[in-house]
Amino acid sequence: MSKPQIIVIVGPTASGKSALAVAIAKKFNGEIISADSRQVYKGLDIGSGKITTTEMEGVSHHLLDVTNPEDIFTVVDFKTLATTAINDIISRDHLPIIVGGTGFYIDTILNNTTLPQVAPNPDLRQKLANKTTPELGEILKRLDPDRWSQIDQKNKPRLIRAIEIAEVLTNVPKVITSESLFNPLTIGISIPQEDLDQKIKLRLTDRLKSGMIDEVKHLQEAGLSYSRLESFGLEYKYIAYFLQNKIHIEEMTNKLYTAIRQYSKRQMTWWKRNKNIIWVERKNLLEDVTLLVDNFLKTKSN
């Protein structure tokens, strides 16, 4: 029996994934599923780079604004909701298009990953939120050396989640993968680092002009703690530092630009492990991707 076909679009931050996904969706009767660990939260709009209604151009988007920022949204939640959305889209004879920069989220779909079922522990998370990433790393190393040696040690939310699981299960179970439920065409946007750095800088400037600092300020005034804001990383972390007078605005901007560049490199390191990704250069991006998708949809799944 053939597997349902899906399109997956990946690439580093600021590479143009969302715009490409919209263009492909319009050409192939598609609907988009966001795979972004911050865009699931209501109110995290400018800082997370959430697509606007205008930019959607009438294309249906899923997994945006699905929970409040005070709540904990896990990768297990993503897999459950994303699988439901994919099946719903397929049932209406539309094409599911997964797009986003959170590699672990996307891999749960591509690899049909089974994840440990451990409920969030708000008290523990609150306790760990004020610790630095090196301190969290030391805690995880003591609890589960194997997981510590494999994890992204600069990813604070992931470190906290690993500690949370290890506290309950003694160690973090090895991730179990099985045969995918879907037949994916995974496309990556290839962009030279120098060009990407320029796009990151321009986008950061635009976001600051568009009210990104006010967005974070309003979230805090609405009751979201600074420690929770910092846990979202990047824009929310450094603007939270600025609002607490821990850094001045020039330092905030410079540190944030550097952190986003470093994040883009970590994203590419993650994606390069997947040898099934077809990398497409930006020069004739839409034309080349359109041809790939068209040819893919004409084939039958194995």
pLDDT for 162: 84
Which tokens in the block code for residue 58?
């009438």
Residues of the chain with pLDDT under 50: 301-302
- Residue 70, Ramachandran bin (φ over 0: left; ψ between -120 and 50: alpha; else beta): alpha
CB atoms closer than 10 angstroms to residue 43: 17
Q: What is the CATH number of domain 5-114+176-297?
A: 3.40.50.300
pLDDT for 69: 95
pLDDT for 171: 60
Predicted TM-score (pTM) of the model is: 0.85
Distance CA(230)–CA(186), nearest Å, equals: 32
pLDDT for 302: 44
Domain ranges (residues) in the chain: 5-114+176-297, 122-169
